[in-house]
Structure 1
């Protein structure tokens, strides 16, 4: 049993040597028997308490409401140190031993050390940032956080539309490069009507070889018609990781780098891979080259290894989520192309929903998918092929959906007109099943086939729910149904299972943000992007948006870590409190308070009363 303060964990790891010595000189130890009152409501507090051993409960004397439980290494009551009096009652649930830091010593260090005070003073986002900074490792995470700058890009070399193939070849050799940019002229039909893309194409050594040898173009042929257009681009000062994700998603090896709308350089996959060695691009190459489901399965089964590599090297959970979401898209799209005849691809659209539709799936969870069939197509074998496709995804490691939300279920396979009618019914007939299915479909993302078929359906949902306060109120209600497990020990129903972080934390945020996004007509699917958009529209205050973002990232991180540790049951949403250290328990408690406040705000916003 330690008799000295632990200076290795936040916020005590921010103290100077003199401040540590000051604390060590003045710290005391106190013992409390089971049921002893440690702090009475409204009394003045003379010390800050840090638990060495035991459990302490914080509750209201007036209502009896339990606010929190504290255990090994937890700190209480910081509020009374700053405000002068104790707001709630603290009593020992079992024999408890505590360090006592005198209030005057605590306040002295609090006012001297801004990092120390920021830990107690800041929002969840600031507190997590301090912990991340304290624990940051000099490893692969440094690459992930590296931004695109002049040191990581090639200088932009461009030629005009009429430059000959021979001249381009000489330029590539002279500058020892594999590609350069081509400025499209005003008559190029590819640029007409495309107001969103820069009038710039790209030509590579391979393009030149094909033009001269396979297509028999003369060396003096202009390069313009051969250049690939439009190009994939990224902004300077964006993350290298995002550049890699773009290349992976668009199946390209190079991206143009822009400074606002000015072309400033090029970044290619070889450069990125020379700095980043997680082999994620190797995985996507295996997916692209797979000629059979068996070959695709080999690639798909290596995902967990990639996730472990990223997580163990300190890569942020949201970055992992983005990369794995892109890989999942490619696996499912490839499975679709190997299963469904090519002639049908333009006449149907495969959509994924749920966490995969939001781009928030990391480990493979239940299949959630549906099919949109173009009006007028007579497809007699659709049920047979969709059943085969569902079994193919199962072979690739995607479990069957317990709710049967899969293309093998005819209910989730409809023509455009049938989907439009069903959307109208879901938005007007407010029963439980319709509300649940509306929530599922509102996260839909087109992943294979004719992706344009989804757009009018998403627009229809937005139109149906705009200013529909009754529907939105009923739609939002499930986010308020689950109790936030704020008493981390005493009120957990099954201590062996732990806390259901999906019910208590993830779902209220995801569904509440989903409802607000539908109300606002926001087209984005990802919860983090929805929060950013709601903040930019002043629906959410900046501090609320920051705290919701940080809380959700923490919930995802802890759930993933526990799922990987308990590999026999990876679909579990339970986290075990005893596996969290004191700083993580502190963050969990803070995060759950964020969820509780958000639920209260949702209830007020949509006038939901129990």
Structure 2
């Protein structure tokens, strides 16, 4: 029995209290000297080993290949518990201390708890789903602690009690509101009148239009204080069976909340931000709205919202911000004669925190625009002011290389694909992810079509295009451990780029139109290019890489958009999933090398 075993570590936290008690009572502790064999290939294993301290090497029976190294909190050999014998040797690299869980106890827990069993499934998607479900449960308490603040309070219309039904209806229509507060007076508390109240009064009760609203208002109005929890506001509405409450600040009415809005705020907080973007009439107002985007990301992430959903939502918000900046910067007379295009992660809809600008402009053929250069310089500076960093590679509309007429862009695509040299491949990759975001969006379609036509089934060109995937090594050691340098583990080059660029190449080869990597993977399955399990594992690996990078960026905002992970900060589960995911990338790179006959 062990009283010090950490039962909160996955997957043991999936066990019921009774099962956890059974596990703890069944554990034993064993000590192994350096060089001692813990498990031998082709022999049965009667215990699951969980390392307390030390290090163990997994190797082939003949010693010719090393598969992995295990250290504190790692476990092995699960496969031997489910099969009749071990496939590999396990040897202590140093003096090692392990917990031993008897095989019969492990199997009883495995068979009696589906979540516990699912953790050991080799399918990365199932393991990720299990962990995300647990994360959402863990963050539920934080999720309900959002407070009533200026962003969530709606402005309200306050009418005198003697206002007629006719005038009240007209004012509500003019203000675009569906309810108004009614002033207190003559010992009467504040009341509320809704469009439904007015409809019933005029149609069903057949009251004259001249009747004062004080006669039909509902009173008293339930109130909450600014700074109170939104959860409490929702409870107040539920208990009183009302859909709206007034908001007080030091006893004075400052606005309203309605139930639909509160439920939406609990859902994402995103509609407040999008409303502020839509209402912005100046760059200064837009900057205030854009400045709250990072808080939205952090709220969603900390509340366990799926990474894919966060990406889709933030991509939509980014589009709205950039489009609004375009509308405020580019003269209205020119807006329908050009198209602003975003590329890179923004073009794929995979950006979460604001990254470097990647944009281009397509001009309608024959358009004369003397102030074009000055306008584009202003646009880039505006986007920079809104929090989008300048692109180090100068892939921006203040660079004439990325501002051309539609005909010139078509010639550019023909030239790049015709030359097919390594120097042009980066530009080709950038254009492949282009997405129209403002202006006359139809200008982009012929260019994307030409790009797909020129790339489809061009084996030599696709080989050159894909070759960069193999130039960056996967950050795993020869022993299958995570590999990091003094800056950390480069997750962009070693994990994200191979999936994104490899998938991009396959999409171009098979005429798949979507830019988003997840959508491309799904269509590659439909086209029978990839196995469903392969695409699923690649999707889950990419989500994990983005999630781990985002978590680090949120924890260390002063560090900027760093692409390196501090492996030492990862818990055992994240290390395990990261190692598993990088092996998925390694296999994908090997498949790409074979598929495109790349000899690098």
| TM-score bracket, shorter-length normalisation | 0.7 to 0.9
**Structure 2 matches for 1:58-457, cutoff 5 A?**
58-60=58-60, 65-137=65-137, 271=260, 273-277=262-266, 278-457=268-447
Q: Are 1:474 and 2:458 an aligned pair?
A: no
CA distance 1:302–1:17, change in 2 (3 Å): closer
Q: Which residue of 2 aligns with 1:560?
A: 550
CA distance 1:579–1:416, change in 2 (3 Å): same
What RMSD in Å do the two structures reach over aligned CA positions? Answer: 3.0
TM norm structure 1: 0.74
| Bigger Rg over Cα | 2
CA distance 1:272–1:482, change in 2 (3 Å): farther
Give me the whole-angstrom Cα distance separating, in 2, the residues matched to 1:296 and 1:489: 51
C-alpha deviations, 1:73-101, integer Å up to 9, x for none?
A: 21112223333343334344444321112
Deviation larger for 343-352 or 289-298: 289-298
C-alpha deviations, 1:310-331, integer Å up to 9, x for none?
A: 1122212111111111111111
Give me the whole-angstrom Cα distance separating, in 1, the residues matched to 2:279 and 2:286: 8
Deviation larger for 470-479 or 106-115: 106-115
Q: CA deviation at 1:488?
A: 10
Q: Which residue of 1 aligns with 2:589?
A: 599
Maintained 8 Å contact 1:66/1:487: no
**Structure 2 matches for 1:474-553, cutoff 5 A?**
474-487=464-477, 494-553=484-543
Give me the whole-angstrom Cα distance separating, in 2, the residues matched to 1:497 and 1:55: 24
Q: CA deviation at 1:140?
A: 6.5
Q: Which residue of 1 aligns with 2:6?
A: 6
Q: CA deviation at 1:25?
A: 3.5
Gaps of 5+ in 2: 145-168, 179-194, 196-257
TM norm structure 2: 0.76
Give me the whole-angstrom Cα distance separating, in 1, the residues matched to 2:18 and 2:137: 26
Give me the whole-angstrom Cα distance separating, in 2, the residues matched to 1:451 and 1:98: 62
**Structure 2 matches for 1:42-61, cutoff 5 A?**
42-60=42-60
Maintained 8 Å contact 1:373/1:415: yes
Q: CA deviation at 1:142?
A: 12
Give me the whole-angstrom Cα distance separating, in 2, the residues matched to 1:531 and 1:39: 39
Give me the whole-angstrom Cα distance separating, in 1, the residues matched to 2:583 and 2:493: 14
Give me the whole-angstrom Cα distance separating, in 2, the residues matched to 1:372 and 1:141: 48
Q: CA deviation at 1:527?
A: 1.0
Give me the whole-angstrom Cα distance separating, in 2, the residues matched to 1:69 and 1:352: 43
Secondary structure at 1:137 match in 2: helix
CA distance 1:406–1:64, change in 2 (3 Å): farther
Give me the whole-angstrom Cα distance separating, in 1, the residues matched to 2:549 and 2:402: 29
Maintained 8 Å contact 2:342/2:436: yes
Gaps of 5+ in 1: 145-168, 179-204, 206-268
CA distance 1:489–1:20, change in 2 (3 Å): same
CA distance 1:494–1:115, change in 2 (3 Å): closer
CA distance 1:20–1:141, change in 2 (3 Å): closer
Give me the whole-angstrom Cα distance separating, in 2, the residues matched to 1:537 and 1:117: 33
Q: CA deviation at 1:26?
A: 3.2
Q: CA deviation at 1:495?
A: 4.5
Secondary structure at 2:137 match in 1: coil
C-alpha deviations, 1:81-127, integer Å up to 9, x for none?
A: 33334333434444432111233432343344443332213411111
Secondary structure at 1:539 match in 2: coil
Q: CA deviation at 1:13?
A: 2.7
Equivalent pairs, count: 494
C-alpha deviations, 1:524-573, integer Å up to 9, x for none?
A: 11111111222222222221222112111111111100011111123111
Give me the whole-angstrom Cα distance separating, in 1, the residues matched to 2:143 and 2:24: 39
Q: CA deviation at 1:398?
A: 0.9
Secondary structure at 1:276 match in 2: helix
CA distance 1:270–1:343, change in 2 (3 Å): farther
Give me the whole-angstrom Cα distance separating, in 2, the residues matched to 1:536 and 1:379: 45
Maintained 8 Å contact 2:522/2:535: yes
Deviation larger for 17-26 or 317-326: 17-26
Maintained 8 Å contact 1:141/1:314: no
C-alpha deviations, 1:211-252, integer Å up to 9, x for none?
A: xxxxxxxxxxxxxxxxxxxxxxxxxxxxxxxxxxxxxxxxxx
Q: Which residue of 1 aligns with 2:251?
A: none
CA distance 1:283–1:55, change in 2 (3 Å): same
Maintained 8 Å contact 1:488/1:577: no
Q: CA deviation at 1:578?
A: 2.1
Give me the whole-angstrom Cα distance separating, in 1, the residues matched to 2:442 and 2:259: 33
Maintained 8 Å contact 2:136/2:305: no
Secondary structure at 1:10 match in 2: coil
Deviation larger for 52-61 or 299-308: 52-61
CA distance 1:488–1:13, change in 2 (3 Å): farther
Maintained 8 Å contact 1:26/1:101: yes
Give me the whole-angstrom Cα distance separating, in 2, the residues matched to 1:493 and 1:302: 36
